[in-house]
Amino acid sequence: MEIFFKIFIVYNSVILGLIIILAINFFINLKSFKRISDFQLNIIYKQTLPKISVLVPARNESRKIENCLISLLEQDYNKLEIIVLDDNSTDDTHEKIKTLIDDYNAYKSSIPVNDDDKEKTIRLLSGLPLKDGWVGKNYACYQLEKAATGDYILFTDADTVHSPDSISSGFQCLISNNLDALSAFPEMQMDTFAEKMVIGFIRFGILLFLPLYSTKKIRHSLFNTALGSYMFYRRKAYRTAGGHAAIFDKCLEDINMSILLKNKGFKFSVFDGYRTYSTRMYSSFTDIAKGFSRFILTTFNYKKFAPSILILSLSIILLLPFLVVLVLFIFYNLTSVTFGGEIILESLFNTGLILTILQVSLLLLIKTIYVSRFEGNIIDILLHPISIGIILILGLSFTFGGKKTLTIDWKGRKYGLGKTAI
């Protein structure tokens, strides 16, 4: 029994040490994770604003495309061209975009010639049939960039909604930080319990586990992050790096673009897009599971072993302390088990209990600070173990799901091990 408790203490000491390391990384990340909304357009640019092309690939986005385009048309940055590409939608996405553009052009014809809104333009492209070997979004983005005329380009998804200063702040952020490209994580809209438990973990997990400084230097996919819903480029850097044509067959286009840029010597960084733009990534548990599978598969090159180990490790660090402390309290308070007068055993048990309580306390402190920064609520803190438990279940279903889990179903297109559309 004494040997068991000694091993238990060593184990708890190691886990506590790992959590302390993660806490240090988290606090460093939180300080460096700057908000784009804090960068307001400098007055010196207002007289000589460059043209910015906002590029929106849209496939089967009938329910969301109008809100996205309206938010882009309401930007306080006026030297703007908005280009939307209907990527062979099977719903009425094309018709809704066309109607909105017609209404906007009618509005423009009614306003004074010197009105700043006159500088904004919006047009619709019909996407070409998907080329063999290409991933659908990459081909859509490739076509959009070819049609653009701006000195800077912003790729954004059709399910986003932007604040009025989204583009002006993004441009100022790019200039102020002397970057060639940047990406921003959105304010997440989460309506269902599953969304709050899984999607709510994404940004938290990145801040906890990933050293954000590595996104500026290291080129491996495990040490990179980006989000395709907001990718801002200097046009010259995008073209010199090769653009989406250079990653035509890769499903995780945002992270692969960030790696491509760094491989070519360009400066890239990620920012907090809270209050800059919002999105609802998934609206059902099925969509969440598909998105989870897509991220895991593409990050780990369609292999199962490495992500399984990662998810298991995540659970040991973030979930197991809560379960262990519960078991220890039950053992200590509700059973008749005694240590038979063995002071050493009781001391070892108490030491293990204290170490576990410290683990849980530190994890709750981290989550509390995170929730405070992103204006969450106490429920998000209390349900942390359930959130990790659901992610563990998703990971187990992926690991033991057979060959079917090695196929991505995305926007009505399937991608197999070769990553080409089926």
pLDDT digits (tens, 9 = 90+) for 22-81: 999 999 999 989 999 999 987 666 667 899 999 999 999 999 999 999 999 999 998 999
Please, is 52 exposed, middle or buried when counting C-beta atoms within 10 Å of its C-beta (0-12, 13-18, 19+)? buried
Reported as a pLDDT band with limits 50, 70 and 90, residue 127 is very high
Does 291 score more than 60 pLDDT?
yes
pLDDT of residue 109: 81
Reported as a pLDDT band with limits 50, 70 and 90, residue 8 is confident
pLDDT of residue 252: 81
Count Cα neighbours of 87 within 13 Å in the Cβ-side half-sphere.
Answer: 26
Burial string for 243-267 (b: 16+ CB within 10 Å, else e) reads bbeebbebbbbbbbbbbbbbeeebb
Does 339 score more than 60 pLDDT?
no
pLDDT of residue 174: 96
pLDDT of residue 405: 53
Integer CA distances (angstroms), 83 to 63, 107, 170, 294, 422, in order: 19, 18, 18, 27, 28
Reported as a pLDDT band with limits 50, 70 and 90, residue 421 is very low
Per the model's pLDDT, the better-predicted residue between 88 and 43 turns out to be: 88
Per the model's pLDDT, the better-predicted residue between 333 and 312 turns out to be: 312
| 271-288: average pLDDT | 88
Of the candidate ranges 44-58, 113-127, 184-198, 230-244, the one whose mean pLDDT is the lowest: 113-127
Count Cα neighbours of 1 within 13 Å in the Cβ-side half-sphere.
Answer: 12
Reported as a pLDDT band with limits 50, 70 and 90, residue 300 is low
pLDDT of residue 357: 92
Integer CA distances (angstroms), 4 to 14, 94, 247, 267, in order: 16, 66, 52, 51
Task: State residue 181 phi and psi, 5-degree precision.
Answer: -160, 155
Element containing residue 324 per DSSP (H, E)? helix 320-333
pLDDT of residue 94: 95
Give percent of the chain above pLDDT 70.
83
pLDDT of residue 13: 93
Three-state SS for 162? Answer: strand
pLDDT of residue 46: 60
Per the model's pLDDT, the better-predicted residue between 232 and 415 turns out to be: 232
| 116-125: average pLDDT | 84
pLDDT of residue 213: 79
pLDDT of residue 380: 85
CATH code for the structural domain at 34-283: 3.90.550.10
Per the model's pLDDT, the better-predicted residue between 404 and 104 turns out to be: 104
Domain boundary assignment for the chain: 2-28+305-415, 34-283
Reported as a pLDDT band with limits 50, 70 and 90, residue 306 is low
Q: For the whole prediction, is pTM greater than 0.75? A: yes
d(CA 206, CA 211): 8
Per the model's pLDDT, the better-predicted residue between 338 and 85 turns out to be: 85
Three-state SS for 148? Answer: coil
pLDDT of residue 89: 93
Q: Are 391 and 285 in contact (CB under 8 A)?
A: no
Of the candidate ranges 36-50, 172-186, 264-278, 289-303, the one whose mean pLDDT is the lowest: 289-303
Count Cα neighbours of 314 within 13 Å in the Cβ-side half-sphere.
Answer: 26
Reported as a pLDDT band with limits 50, 70 and 90, residue 402 is low
d(CA 33, CA 44): 26
d(CA 391, CA 209): 15
- Mean pLDDT: which of 4-8, 113-117, 174-178, 208-212 is highest? 174-178
How many CB atoms within 10 Å of residue 1?
A: 12
d(CA 347, CA 343): 6
| 303-330: average pLDDT | 82
411: left (phi over 0), alpha (psi -120 to 50) or beta: left
Q: Are 172 and 191 in contact (CB under 8 A)?
A: no
Reported as a pLDDT band with limits 50, 70 and 90, residue 400 is low
Integer CA distances (angstroms), 123 to 25, 85, 95, in order: 44, 9, 13
Does 418 score more than 50 pLDDT?
no
pLDDT of residue 107: 85
Q: Which residue bears the tokens 């509390």?
A: 368
Residues 6+ apart with CB under 8 A from 18: 317
